[in-house]
Amino acid sequence: MTKKTVTAQYPEVLPALPPRTRGVIGLFEENCTVCMLCARECPDWCIYIDSHKETVPAAAPGGRERSRNVLDRFAIDFSLCMYCGICIEVCPFDALFWSPEFEYAETDIRELTHERDKLRDWMWTVPEPPALDPAAEEPKELAAARKTADKLAAEAAKAAEEAAPPEQQAAAAEQQPETEGPEGPDASTEGPQGPDTPTEGGAR
Ligand code: SF4
Ligand code: SF4
């Protein structure tokens, strides 16, 4: 109320927009699997997708051929779009992003349908996501992934140990008590599982 009104001198002076401004939608084509979710969920039906199926040969002999969707057309009609952001929210593969660019007015309404090349060009104007909060709680997915990786590493180490030649296993068994302390190496090397047991005990 007490501040003087300031007229923005656009286009001479560009407005300072927040980085997450909903200006235009960029398509990161490499991430798109043609799942059609965005087109189905768009309340304005202004996303147009065409695709065809391609057969991918088996990766290994005896394997099965697979089929995959190949994108032929991806277009968004910005004359119909209401900038709700649903398509971006529902995309499960992070293929759609907001760009703050807004200078794409046209005199011909048909030009407001942006095809995949144009949508891809918008992608390079998408700002980087903000840095993560260092004090934020770690996502549960990361903890679960780390637990799985630790388990796999332990299993791999155990398998490698079991697959090692007997001499290496004996050497490892001899080294172990030395690191364990003053109890004496003989106590453990002569144990019931030790490699020397058959020869010492006269099993035959
Ligand atoms: S922002 Fe909303 S209206 Fe626009 S294309 Fe996406 S889902 Fe459709
Ligand atoms: S939802 Fe995402 S992955 Fe699926 S078709 Fe749309 S942009 Fe592509």
**Average confidence (pLDDT) per 10 residues, the chain, 204 residues:** 84 87 96 96 97 91 90 97 97 96 95 97 92 86 92 93 77 62 45 43 38
Distance 8 CA to ligand 1 centre (A): 29
Give the model's pLDDT for residue 172.
Answer: 66
Do 85 and 166 belong together in one domain?
Answer: no
Distance 43 CA to ligand 1 centre (A): 7
Task: Assign residue 112 the CATH number of its domain.
Answer: 3.30.70.3270
Residue 63 and residue 26: Cα distance in Å, rounded? 37
Give the model's pLDDT for residue 156.
Answer: 94
Residue 195 and residue 160: Cα distance in Å, rounded? 18
State how many domains the chain has.
Answer: 2
pTM (2 d.p.): 0.67
Give the model's pLDDT for residue 144.
Answer: 93
Residue 73 tokens, joined: 């057309």
- Domain annotation covers residue 12: no
Pocket flag, ligand 2, residue 37 (CB < 6 Å): yes
Do 168 and 102 belong together in one domain?
Answer: no
Do 165 and 119 belong together in one domain?
Answer: no
CB 76 within 8 A of CB 47: yes
Do 183 and 108 belong together in one domain?
Answer: no
Pocket flag, ligand 2, residue 123 (CB < 6 Å): no
- Domain annotation covers residue 97: yes
Do 112 and 167 belong together in one domain?
Answer: no
Q: Could you tell me the sign of the dihedral formed by the alpha carbons of 149, 150, 151, 153, in that order? A: positive
Among 123, 150, 181, which residue terminates a domain? Answer: 123
Residue appearing with tokens 């969707």: 69
> Closest Cα to atom 8, ligand 1: which residue?
42
Q: Which of 35, 94, 120, 126 best tests ligand 2's pocket when mutated (most atoms within 8 Å of CB)?
A: 35
Give the model's pLDDT for residue 199.
Answer: 42
Give the model's pLDDT for residue 198.
Answer: 43
167: containing domain: 161-191
Give the model's pLDDT for residue 177.
Answer: 56
- Domain annotation covers residue 144: no
Among 98, 123, 148, which residue terminates a domain? Answer: 123
- Domain annotation covers residue 65: yes
Contacts of 167 (CB under 8 A, 6+ apart): none
Do 110 and 32 belong together in one domain?
Answer: yes
Q: Which ligand 1 atom is at minimum distance from the Cα of 38?
A: 7
Do 101 and 165 belong together in one domain?
Answer: no
> Closest Cα to atom 6, ligand 2: which residue?
38
- In total, the chain counts a number of residues equal to 204
- Domain annotation covers residue 169: yes
Task: Give kind and range of the element (H or E) at residue 76.
Answer: strand 66-77
Distance 90 CA to ligand 2 centre (A): 8
Give the model's pLDDT for residue 176.
Answer: 63
Among 99, 123, 147, which residue terminates a domain? Answer: 123
- Domain annotation covers residue 181: yes
Give the model's pLDDT for residue 52.
Answer: 96
Give the model's pLDDT for residue 183.
Answer: 46
Give the model's pLDDT for residue 27.
Answer: 97
Q: Which of 36, 42, 97, 114 best tests ligand 2's pocket when mutated (most atoms within 8 Å of CB)?
A: 36
Residue 143 tokens, joined: 């903890």
Give the model's pLDDT for residue 195.
Answer: 44
Pocket flag, ligand 2, residue 76 (CB < 6 Å): no
